[in-house]
């Protein structure tokens, strides 16, 4: 099973559309001062169970500001 290792949202590219937050609100919090979503505190617990939601969050971003690093168990030794 794949697991998300890290999530990065580029604040210089993000247009604060909140589309990514809609896809995975368990991990992404759009209620920030500058409008750029942040990773919720303790959200690492969802990095394995919500891989598909996070992939979708990256996919729907209109400016490709969401970068995911994903570990796949197939490549793990």
Binding site for ligand SF4 (CB under 6 A): 9, 14-20, 37, 61-63, 65-66
Closest distance to ligand SF4 from the beta carbon of 72 (Å): 23
CA distance linking residue 37 with residue 21, whole number of Å:
7
Min dist. Cβ of residue 76 to ligand SF4 (A)? 28
Nearer to ligand SF4, 14 or 51 (CB): 14
For the CB of residue 34, give the shortest distance to ligand SF4 in the complex, in Å: 11
Distance from C-alpha of 37 to C-alpha of 18, rounded to nearest angstrom: 7
Instruction: Please name the residue that has the structure tokens 């809609």.
Output: 22
Cβ-contact 70, 2 below 8 angstroms: yes
């Amino acid at each position: 099973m794949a697991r998300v290792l890290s999530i990065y949202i580029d604040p210089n590219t993000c247009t604060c559309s909140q589309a990514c937050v809609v896809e995975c609100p368990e991990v992404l919090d759009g209620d920030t001062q500058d409008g750029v979503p942040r990773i919720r505190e303790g959200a690492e617990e969802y990095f394995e169970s919500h891989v598909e939601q996070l992939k979708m969050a990256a996919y729907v971003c209109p400016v490709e500001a969401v970068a995911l690093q994903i570990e796949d168990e197939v490549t793990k030794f």
